[in-house]
Structure 1
Amino acid sequence: MPGLGPSWRLWAAETLEIPKLLASPLQSAVPIPQGNGQPVVVYPGYLTSNVSSIRLRRSLIAAGYAAYGWELGQNKGARADLLQRLEPQLERLALRHGQQVTLIGWSLGGLFAREVAKHRPDLVKMVITLGSPFSGDPRANNAWRLYEWLNDHSVENPPIGGDIAEKPPVRTLAVWSPIDGIVAPLAARGQPGESDRQIELKVRHLSLARAPAGIRLIGSLLDEVLSG
């Protein structure tokens, strides 16, 4: 189904972000508003691991948040037991910190964050998605062919539950980019009612969770909601 994802020019431009993404673990923290020990977990994008969010988590920790990666290694796509495997970490962190946990999900990781929040809203304070294709046609991106080639299910029928576009019963913020070369902006922005707020960020898809502008936006959103 050609033409659903971003243009080939935007897609090609994403390749320029790959060296920056690979180098992000070596980059220093980005200053953001101070937190107060609130727990935050970052879910990585497809085929990436916690390495992709090191700079973001480093920035959050430097600002006083308790930031964690997920515990499932490389994100290889949806699995039937995925939500059950993610819940124990949420339970431990909520108990350890005595409060609900904020989930930040980049790309496919944002879909998983939304689904976990639907299953365990008692444990989740807020969900922030970064360029996550939760709305509209699941082929409105430039990665679905690779996803289906590497998985045993279609992007239209992931084995993780019901309506992907349905908003979780917690505060849900959708960050999207007009220059995203992997996920169509409308798919990451969503329709009215599919998230509580939609925020535009002019950053390439592969840098949404590592670019200073993205980290500063995340910091301001956390400060606005968690300190309010």
Structure 2
Amino acid sequence: MATRFSRLSYSDAIVRTSSGVGRGTDAPALPLLAREALSFAYMRTSAAFASTVELDVAGNGRPVMIVPGFMASDQTTSRLRRSLQDAGFSAHGWGLGRNKGIKADIFERLDKRVAELDIDAPITLVGWSLGGLIAREYAKVSRHNVAKVVTLGSPFSGDPRANNAWRLYEFVAGYKVDNPPLDVTLSEKPPVPTCAFWSQNDGVVAPGSACGLIHESDQQIELDCSHMAFVARPDAIRAIARALV
């Protein structure tokens, strides 16, 4: 089954301002998860071979860092970064290899990475899935380094097991999802502007977890895509770019 994705422009995307009632808060159903396999193949192929997406915004040198999802690396976010770079953003990977979970030294490593980039202005963080949780928490402890946080299907709200990845996460990371090696409150909004992208067709993370309640982020935007498509589909990349300016 092909991955569904709307042809809506960013201006047509559904910007949610309600309390979150009606959004799924249970882990996505197995048929949606099964579709993620096809979407994963599309994402990997797009990252390696697809052309950049033409964007209708000007980056004007704005610094952006893309934080990959669980078990992903900068390679998987390549199409998104290349497209932003072509539009004039100063787009960077996180440079920390494969994301195998939140570690006790993650904030120190991100501080070092930001320093290495030698950027004069605060950076905007775009975090995909687990990468969004890391981005939100980093913004709380390094407020001076962060201009904005954009999350893509990131489960920052509600039950940390309202997804289809928590068992694998616990196996790889070596700790329970509700007992990370850092003192964090995932649902607490960072002290910077935030935007949360979410999808009812996400096969990995519950829509309600990625959208959150109204006080947990400044803006919530719904897209019609799979979890893997957030960093690969042209419409998603265009929407993300517009959220950065």
- TM score, norm. by length of structure 1: 0.93
1:116 aligned to which of 110, 127, 138: 138
Pairing 1:44-193 to 2, within 5 Å after superposition: 44-93=68-117, 96-193=118-215
Distance in structure 1 (CA, Å) of the matches to 2:201 and 2:26: 15
| Aligned AA (2:131) | G
Q: 2:26 aligns to what SS in structure 1? A: coil
The answer to whether the Cα contact below 8 Å between 1:38 and 1:97 also exists between their aligned partners in 2 is: no
1:30 aligned to which of 53, 65, 74: 53
Q: 2:214 aligns to what SS in structure 1? A: coil
Distance in structure 2 (CA, Å) of the matches to 1:87 and 1:147: 24
The answer to whether the Cα contact below 8 Å between 2:43 and 2:231 also exists between their aligned partners in 1 is: no
Q: Displacement of 1:92 after TM fit?
A: 3.9
| Aligned AA (1:207) | A
2:240 aligned partner: 218
Distance in structure 2 (CA, Å) of the matches to 1:91 and 1:118: 17
Distance in structure 1 (CA, Å) of the matches to 2:152 and 2:233: 12
Q: Which runs of 4+ in 1 moved over 6 A?
A: none
Larger relative contact order (C-alpha < 8 A, sep ≥ 6)? 2
Distance in structure 1 (CA, Å) of the matches to 2:75 and 2:116: 22
Distance in structure 1 (CA, Å) of the matches to 2:222 and 2:94: 26
Which deviations, in whole Å up to 9, do the C-alpha atoms of 1:71-125 show, x marking residues without a partner?
21000001111111111222343xx332110000000000000011001111111
Which ranges in structure 1 are unaligned for 5 or more consecutive residues? 224-228
Distance in structure 1 (CA, Å) of the matches to 2:172 and 2:133: 18
1:196 aligned partner: 218
- Taking only aligned residues, the RMSD between alpha carbons, in angstroms, comes to 1.2
Distance in structure 2 (CA, Å) of the matches to 1:173 and 1:66: 19
Distance in structure 1 (CA, Å) of the matches to 2:40 and 2:231: 13
The answer to whether the Cα contact below 8 Å between 1:82 and 1:160 also exists between their aligned partners in 2 is: no
| Aligned AA (2:121) | Q
Distance in structure 2 (CA, Å) of the matches to 1:147 and 1:62: 34
Distance in structure 2 (CA, Å) of the matches to 1:180 and 1:114: 20
Count residues in correspondence.
219
Which ranges in structure 2 are unaligned for 5 or more consecutive residues? 1-24
